[in-house]
Structure 1
């Protein structure tokens, strides 16, 4: 299993970096749209769609929704203040606050949505659509003046999430004693949680000190720690839905890593939350 994980990682990392820096905004948006369609396909399991045809239709409808939203906009990279983008990012902030309450009160909270496919579809919509707009908006940020500034920001968020996850694993393995959310993910500990936040804070401080940014280090720090917190919540939320659906992995598309949602669960929360705080709350445009 470890061999497959390493091989997959060595393949995926260069592909992700190439997509970030080599694709133009439209090409990157289409690629992200395809990833979101695969995520919607896997989310169908959380909604109780056992039939392949139902999940295919869910993926297709998700792709059509994002395509219509994308291609009915003007030159979308010009401003984050376009209503569709702004609404999606604010909705993401609201959804992840609600998701925190659902995770903290699980399994009791499951009685609210366990028997409602409509609610579980809504949760999927609030997870996937803002993730798409967070990715697209950050990638296209200042594209007119610098084709790579947005790619650098997105790579930073990804590195931040990966670093926080690695820090949580190391600290949890070494010092972990107290369970963070035993009803949702028994392997996670409070020691790992704070270790991940510490790692994210260090990454933010170093990046703010040495990178040439048009953002105050204090703003970067707040956005980064919030994104790290959101990444943990994204992971826990997917674990909650998988536990309720009775599955270990969201899919088997990536050998050794499970499905697409298993790889991007943290990013589905971290990317839109980071984009919302940086671009809307602090007005960094």
Structure 2
């Protein structure tokens, strides 16, 4: 399994970086839309839709919704300035605060949504739609002045999340003793969380020193810590929904990694939260 994970990562990482820096904003948005459709297809299983056809329709409807939102916007503007986009980023901030409470009080909190497909679908929309617009908003950041400015920001967030995940895994394996959320994800520990945050801090320092981010260090530090914590929350939230659905992986699309949601669960929280803080708050 580890061999497949490493091989898949070595293939996917260059593809992701190439998409960030080589695709124009529209092309990048279309690729992100396709990823969100696959995520919606997998979320159908978390919402209680066992039929393949129902999940396909859910993915198609998600794609139509995102495409319709894109077509309703001007041909080009700095996307975060648009009320639709900024509102969705704020909504995402509220949703992840709510998700934090759902995770903290699980399994008691599950009694509120366990038997409601509608609520679980709403939770999926609140996860996937702001993630899409967070990706688009960051990619378009500063595009007029520098076509690659937003790509650097997105690469930063992705490395931050990947680093936090890897650091948490290594520190958890080596030093993990105290469970972080045993009722949601028994494998995660407080030692792993601290290790992930330390790894994120190191990435932030290195990236901030050598990459053209052009941001006040204190602002970057605040956004980094909150985004890293949000990435952990995204992972725990998906684990909670998978536990309720009685499944280990959201899918089997990526060899050794599970499904699309298993790979982007941390990013679905970190990207819109980071975008909201960096582009709207600061």
Q: TM-score range by the shorter chain?
A: over 0.9
CA distance in 1, matches of 2:164, 2:74: 36
**1:44 equivalent in structure 2:** 44
| Per-residue Cα deviation, 1:179-230 (whole angstroms, up to 9, x for no partner) | 0000000000001111111221222233333434321000000001110000
- The answer to whether the 8 Å contact 2:152/2:212 transfers is no
2:260 and 2:213 map into 1 onto residues whose CA distance is: 32
Partners of 1:196 and 1:6 in 2: CA distance: 19
8 Å CA contact 1:166, 1:196 repeated in 2: yes
Cα displacement (A) at 1:90 = 0.3
Provide the rounded CA distance (Å) in 1 between the counterparts of 2:82 and 2:111.
37
Does the aligned pair in 2 maintain the 1:167–1:196 contact within 8 Å?
yes
Distance 1:34 1:68 in 2: 14
Asked if residue 184 in structure 1 is aligned to residue 172 in structure 2, the reply is no
Report the equivalent of 2:267.
267
Query: How far has the Cα of 1:110 moved from its partner?
Result: 0.4
Q: Structure 2 vs 1, CA of residues 79 and 50 (structure 1 numbering), >3 Å: closer, same or farther?
A: closer
Deviation per CA, 1:120-157: give whole Å up to 9, x if none: 01100000000000001101111111111111110010
Q: Cα distance, 1:78 vs. partner?
A: 1.9
Q: Secondary structure at the match of 1:144?
A: coil
C-alpha RMSD of matched pairs (Å) = 1.0
What TM-score, normalized by structure 2, do the two folds share? Answer: 0.98
- Could you say which residue in structure 2 is the equivalent of 1:7? 7
Aligned mates of 1:174, 1:78 — CA distance in 2: 45
Query: TM-score w.r.t. structure 1 length?
Result: 0.97
1:20 aligns with 2:20: yes
CA contact (8 A) 2:170 2:192 kept: yes
The 10-residue stretch of structure 1 (268-277 or 196-205) with the greater mean CA deviation from structure 2: 196-205
Hey, what does 2:117 align to over in structure 1? 117
**Higher mean displacement: 257-266 or 142-151:** 142-151
Partner of 2:84: 84
* Map 1:159-238 → 2, pairs under 5 A: 159-238=159-238
| 2:67 pairs with 1:67 | yes
Displacement, 1:172? 1.2
Assess, with a 3 A threshold, how the Cα gap between structure 1 residues 189 and 76 changes in structure 2: closer, same or farther: farther
